[in-house]
């Protein structure tokens, strides 16, 4: 690695003040710290030091996404060949499936990173900030919530919209109140509905004769219970967004996030509690086949699992207080099931419910903090509004 160090040290004067490209300083800085631990440290003030800095956190989340990505890649190929010839089994042509999946997913991942990181670098440059690692995770989440056949120019537009309007406008990483990956998906969903919904898009280059309906669409449009069994949906070789289909792969990543403490267990648990609560209400009063669907089916259909594990737990957009996290998660699960079952226009409620609660998270925090202040005032027998 010595030679990399030499190259960087030789180039450094060009990018410092008085060099040839001082305006590219933060780009250079980003690549330098990407390769080496910087020499300089903070000089003033007290600081907590922790091995778990942002770079490592982001990298762990990307690792946690790998199982979903691999299964998703294989699933793209399998669904494609399966739709052409339904007699093909799951493991009949492993390499063709994988190859087809890679050819489909690679452009999506590349565009996601090139466009997103390009915007991040440009804004950091323009503002004179350091480039930070926030986009590493978003760039991996975006491909996983897309249908495999998404047109690439629409994907590009969605990423530009999500990164600029959802994130950079509010000040970049850590300042956004909406999850950028979900915002990209929501943009596509509302702007180009024909490439984000219906039963045409969930299998890459599907044969026309084959029905490509996801379990959610079967419930919503067909009005009958999913044709796949519960166990099949847990394993997840079914039509759907690239990374959302396999519950097992998502849970593998989820366990890693929980062990490392990056995702908050309160949020994850309460999302399922909320979903269970709403599902049980529907089961109890239900009169049609959708409301009578056992509540645990909601967890394995569509993006519920992926949203609960990777999207709702995003530390930036979630509530910050512990009690707020319970409320936030519970309402996400509740709204997701409610939108799915009741609103015929939106078969998948998870995306919308997480975005909705993202907006409300600061308000939830405000009330939690406020109630705590009032409780403490009461404990000291102070009248409301009296400052001590």
Partner 1 sequence: MADINFKLIKNPLSKENPITVQVLGICSALAVTAKLEPAVVMSLSVIAVVVLSNLIVSLLRKTIPSRIRIIVQLVIVSLLVILVDQVLKAFVYEVSKQLSVFVGLIITNCIVMGRLEAFAMSNKPFDSVLDGIGNGLGYSVILITVGFIRELFGSGTLWGYPIIPQSFYEMGYQNNSLMIMPPMALIIVGIIIWIQRSRNKDLCEN
Q: Which spans of this chain sit near partner 1 (rule: CB under 8 A)?
A: 151, 153-154, 157, 165, 169, 187, 190-195
Q: Which two tokens stand for residue 333?
A: 């699960």
Given a contact cutoff of 8 angstroms between Cβ atoms, the answer to whether 59 and 136 are in contact is yes
Task: Closer to partner 1 by CB, 204 or 305: give it.
Answer: 204
Nearest Cα residue to 213 out of 329, 348, 43: 348
Task: Closer to partner 1 by CB, 99 or 153: give it.
Answer: 153
Task: Closer to partner 1 by CB, 78 or 187: give it.
Answer: 187
In angstroms, the CA 120 to CA 134 distance is: 9
- Cβ neighbors of 120 (< 8 A, separation 6 or more) are 131, 132, 134, 135, 163, 168, 172
CA quadruple 211, 350, 342, 236: dihedral sign: positive
In angstroms, the CA 219 to CA 298 distance is: 11
Task: Closer to partner 1 by CB, 157 or 207: give it.
Answer: 157
In angstroms, the CA 129 to CA 268 distance is: 33
Least separation, in Å, of the C-beta of 108 and partner 1? 16
Least separation, in Å, of the C-beta of 196 and partner 1? 11
Q: Which two tokens stand for residue 185?
A: 């998906």
Task: Closer to partner 1 by CB, 190 or 285: give it.
Answer: 190
Task: Closer to partner 1 by CB, 250 or 352: give it.
Answer: 352
Least separation, in Å, of the C-beta of 203 and partner 1? 18
Q: Please give the sequence-ordered ranges of beta strands (E in DSSP) within the chain, or none if there are none.
A: none
Least separation, in Å, of the C-beta of 186 and partner 1? 9
118 burial level (CB within 10 Å; 0-12, 13-18, 19+): middle
Least separation, in Å, of the C-beta of 192 and partner 1? 5
Least separation, in Å, of the C-beta of 303 and partner 1? 20
Residue that has been written with the tokens 């994907």 in this structure: 155
- Cβ neighbors of 44 (< 8 A, separation 6 or more) are none
Least separation, in Å, of the C-beta of 238 and partner 1? 27
Task: Closer to partner 1 by CB, 104 or 266: give it.
Answer: 104
Task: Closer to partner 1 by CB, 110 or 152: give it.
Answer: 152
Least separation, in Å, of the C-beta of 142 and partner 1? 17
Given a contact cutoff of 8 angstroms between Cβ atoms, the answer to whether 337 and 308 are in contact is no
């Amino acid at each position: 690695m010595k030679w990399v160090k030499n190259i960087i040290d030789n180039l450094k004067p060009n990018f410092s003040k008085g060099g040839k490209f001082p305006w590219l300083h933060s780009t250079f800085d980003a690549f330098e710290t990407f390769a080496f631990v910087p020499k300089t440290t903070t000089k003033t003030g007290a600081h907590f030091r922790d091995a778990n800095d942002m770079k490592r956190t982001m990298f762990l989340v990307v690792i946690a996404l790998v199982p979903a990505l691999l299964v998703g890649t294989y699933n793209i190929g399998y669904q494609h060949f399966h739709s052409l010839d339904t007699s093909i089994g799951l493991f009949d042509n492993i390499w063709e499936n994988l190859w087809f999946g890679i050819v489909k997913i690679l452009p999506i991942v590349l565009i996601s990173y090139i466009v997103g990181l390009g915007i991040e670098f440009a804004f950091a440059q323009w503002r004179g900030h350091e480039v930070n690692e926030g986009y590493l995770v978003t760039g991996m989440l975006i491909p996983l919530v897309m249908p495999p056949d998404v047109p690439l120019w629409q994907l590009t537009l969605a990423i530009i919209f999500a990164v600029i309007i959802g994130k950079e406008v509010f000040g970049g990483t850590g300042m956004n109140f909406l999850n950028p990956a979900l915002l990209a998906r929501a943009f596509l969903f509302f702007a180009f509905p024909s490439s984000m919904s219906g039963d045409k898009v969930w299998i890459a280059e599907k044969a026309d004769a084959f029905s490509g309906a996801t379990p959610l669409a079967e419930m919503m449009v067909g009005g009958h219970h999913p044709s796949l069994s519960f166990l099949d949906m847990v394993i997840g070789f079914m039509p759907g967004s690239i990374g959302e289909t396999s519950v097992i792969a998502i849970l593998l990543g989820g366990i890693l996030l929980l062990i490392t403490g990056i995702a908050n267990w309160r949020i994850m648990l309460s999302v399922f509690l909320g979903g269970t609560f709403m599902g049980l209400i529907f089961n109890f009063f239900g009169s049609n086949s959708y409301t009578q669907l056992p509540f645990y089916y909601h967890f394995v259909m569509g993006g519920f699992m992926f949203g609960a594990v990777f999207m709702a737990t995003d530390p930036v957009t979630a509530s910050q207080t512990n009690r707020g996290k319970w409320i936030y998660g519970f309402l996400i699960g509740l709204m997701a099931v409610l939108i799915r079952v009741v609103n015929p226009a939106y078969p998948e409620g998870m995306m919308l419910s997480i975005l909705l609660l993202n907006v409300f998270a600061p308000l939830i925090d405000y009330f939690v903090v406020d109630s705590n202040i009032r409780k403490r005032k009461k404990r000291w027998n102070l009248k409301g509004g009296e400052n001590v």
